[in-house]
Amino acid sequence: MSENVEETKSIGAVNPIFRQWQSVGLMLGAVGMIVLIVAGFSAISSGDPSLRKAFWSSALYGYIFWLGMTLGCCTLTYLHHSIRAHWSLALLRIVEAGNKTIGLMFVLGLVIALFTLNGHQVYPWADPKVYEHLHRNKQLWYTSWFWAARAIGYFAFWFFTTRYLNRSSARQDEERDEALADARSSRAAPWGVIHVVFLTLAFTDWLMSLDPNWFSTLYGAWHMTTQLLGTIAMGTFMILTLRTRKPYSDVVSPILTKDLGNMMLGFTMVFGYFTLSQFLIIWSGNLPEEIAFFVSRFRGGAVLIGMGIILCQFFLPFLLLISGRTKRTYTYLRFVAGWVFCFRIIDMWWQTVPFLRHNPLDARIFIDIAAILGIGGIWAYFFFKHLRERDVIPAHDNRLLEQKAKFEAHSHA
């Protein structure tokens, strides 16, 4: 009886903190959304197309970043159930809570799409004057109804597949039936492949098409990599912040943090490789329709931010994570994880806003901040709500507990 009571206490030990974080998210979301709504009404009532375009650039930036976090959680969900690794098991409940926000992101995306397509303030191809000058194949692809139908298809796939995997995992916690894990693995692998295709098409539709004449064959893979990097960084930061509280205190060990640090290092290296490859290929080709992406970001303050991203999102994390001491020291790794996550926010701003604003660092940058806080606060509210519903360490798999027990036994020997 005492063991059951202790187990219940362990399961709920982090819930008060999640409740506090949920309240903070709601507060930040409310403040950010109020500022965003006021700015939106001001821009729309002004009658100035440039103000409306600047406002929607901010709203789209906030939305795309948090959508990326949701899709990063989806990607890691497919990946975990395909490979069933130790390190991803520690993040499983976190990414399940994240992928459950897909319905929220669909609703927010629907609102943004209705306003932006109707006034063609954001997507140039929605303007008939621009549309008629596009290549015939692009005209077929960027037909408004076809664009909307694809978006609905993407979200439907992500919703139903992750819902199945989440429910199957929860059911295994109760029944301890290993056949459920085998069934998830057989489905998650092909679903993961389809997900990569859909993610590539989605970010072509939602972000690359902000300049319908520009294209990059690495764009989808680049976004998938950075989304995974941001998701792992967020999960690692949360786990290490709560490492002294049950049940995380029962599973966090230098072996686990080494794995999490290595995954952040790996995706940091892939991010650097994809970023450099995209730059070298486009710049050496020197084609007007391709170099427009970098030309708009290599002027004014945006070029300094781009240099800061390379230094702070690649070189600094790479140099820190390549050290074994960083991965063994909880406070060091926690700092790196938080650092990487913060620069993901800045990097997504650099990716999105210059598409729509000639001077990205103008006075309207406070609306960008309101968008990232407003949409992020709402996202965090539902994220922690879902995270509180289940034990944060899956009960059907004891490998993390066994891993720490072996490490402690070896350390004491």
SS (H, E, C) 51-93: HHHHHHHHHHHHHHHHHHHHHHHHHHHHHHHHHCCHHHHHHHH
Distance between CA atoms of 223 and 218, rounded to whole angstroms?
Answer: 9
The contacts of residue 230 (CB under 8 Å, 6+ apart) are 68, 69, 72, 340, 341, 344
Torsion of CA 188, 62, 110, 223, to 10 degrees: -30
Q: What percent of the chain has pLDDT over 70?
A: 95
**According to the model, what pLDDT value does residue 45 have?**
81
Distance between CA atoms of 135 and 142, rounded to whole angstroms?
Answer: 10
Max CA separation in the chain (angstroms)? 75
Nearest residue to 166 via CA among 99, 69, 83: 99
**According to the model, what pLDDT value does residue 29 have?**
96
Distance between CA atoms of 255 and 252, rounded to whole angstroms?
Answer: 8
Can the peptide bond before residue 212 be classed as cis, meaning omega within 30 degrees of 0? Answer: no
**According to the model, what pLDDT value does residue 412 have?**
65
Nearest residue to 81 via CA among 199, 200, 178, 169: 169
User: Looking at residues 269-287, what average pLDDT do you find?
Assistant: 89
The mean pLDDT of the chain is 89
Q: Residues 341-383: pLDDT tens digits? A: 999 999 999 999 888 887 777 767 889 999 999 999 999 999 9
**According to the model, what pLDDT value does residue 8 have?**
36
DSSP 332: H
